Amino acid sequence: MSSNLARLLKKSSRSIELAGKTFNISGPRGGQYPLEVATLHEQGAGEGGEVYFVAPTATLLLVFKTAPGADVQFQSKEEGVWTAIRSFAFALSEKGL
């Protein structure tokens, strides 16, 4: 299931609502993240909108808020990829995973 996370989410919807905000769902592009990670981009927020990583475990669906600047839509792809990787690694280590 984990490698199909983005596909499973997209199968029923291209967006999801969390805490009253709507997010577009996208999967890893060009090997940016592990295949088990989908990305949620806040709709209609423009630059500075919230971005979350979603990753399943055996029993949980983990959702991590990314660091500011992790959204590659508003900066160079290389800068966005490295910001996203650092943000994801920090979120995992902060939770002791």
What are 35-55's pLDDT values in tens digits? Answer: 567 777 788 766 667 777 777
Residue 92 and residue 97: Cα distance in Å, rounded? 5
The residue among 31 and 2 whose pLDDT is bigger is 31
Q: Report residue 1's pLDDT band, with 50, 70 and 90 as the boundaries.
A: very low
Residue 3 and residue 48: Cα distance in Å, rounded? 28
CA distances from 69 to 16, 43, 63 (A): 21, 16, 17
| pLDDT at residue number 66 | 64
Structural domain span for residue 6: 2-94
What is the reported pTM? 0.47
User: What is the number of structural domains in the chain?
Assistant: 1
